[in-house]
Amino acid sequence: MSLSPLGTALITGASSGIGAIYADRLAARGHDLILVARNRGKLAGLAAQIADRTGRSVEVVAADLGDKADLRAVERMLATDASITTLVNNAGVGATAPLLSADVDAMERMIDLDVTALMRLTYAAAPAFMARGHGTIVNIASIVAIGPEILNGVYGGAKAFVLALTQSLHHELASKGLRVQAVLPGATATDFWGVAGTPVEHLPGEIVMPAEAMVDAALAGLDIGELVTIPALPDAAQWQAYEAARQAMLPNLSRSEPAARYRAVPAA
């Protein structure tokens, strides 16, 4: 196997579901791969299949990104392996129980993986990519980033962080060769739902997208240069209007005086 001219894509949560499909699609596009997940056996099986089918080099890294030592090892790989050109931050867990019914320790573990691990891997990759003058970071968020009422509030808050981080990275670093994308899937047919507490079979079929279709749409969004890709949204103008309204507010969010509606009414 020869080294890919496209470089290596490191994909977290790669042993199944969305991560495994990203692995298949990126290898088919010509990337070598580093697949990161906890289950070495599943990773090895997937790696063998992809390598046989595409001829690409596929390395597996068994790591629990909720474990500090494992996380630091993946950070070092991103910071020092000059072949890595793409990071897909896909590893994550969710929750469907209402906030007051959710176990707080489970919520903390979710933040550790969905927020802290993603942030640290991004901080490892971004300087390395900038030093080489190019690189791509894909952050898998969720529609709950803009619709926190839909599912558990901590999960919504975690994915809002992912969206905000991606937008900030684009603002700071796009001119320095870093390409970033936030992907906001809706309900997707993976085992995510069962782990989160609501099997996907319990959801209305009309809102559930096949995982292959979701990843293909996300990659199409990346190809056309989208910063934010919402695979199910029929009318891109709705997102553009949402973003335009947000940008229009920015100059008015910090001023020297309170808005008139908040000023004290003189006593009679």
Q: Tokens standing for 109?
A: 């573990």
* CA dihedral angle for residue 131, residue 77, residue 9, residue 40, rounded to 10 degrees: -170
Q: Tokens standing for 103?
A: 């176990």
Strand, helix or coil at 59? Answer: strand
Q: Which residue carries 């697949």 as its tokens?
A: 35
Nearest to 122 by CA among 162, 176, 70, 155: 162
Strand, helix or coil at 51? Answer: helix
137 backbone dihedrals φ, ψ, rounded to 5°: -120, 120
Strand, helix or coil at 111? Answer: helix
Exactly one of 123, 155, 242, 262 is catalytic; name it.
155
22 classed as catalytic:
no
Separation CA 18–CA 230 (nearest Å): 15
E strand or H helix at 84: strand 84-89
Q: Which residue carries 């090892």 as its tokens?
A: 73
Edge-to-edge order in the sheet of strand 228-229? 58-62, 32-37, 8-12, 84-89, 135-140, 178-183, 228-229
Q: At what angle do helices 118-132 and 68-80 cross, to 10 degrees?
A: 10
Separation CA 189–CA 252 (nearest Å): 41
- Which positions are catalytic? 155
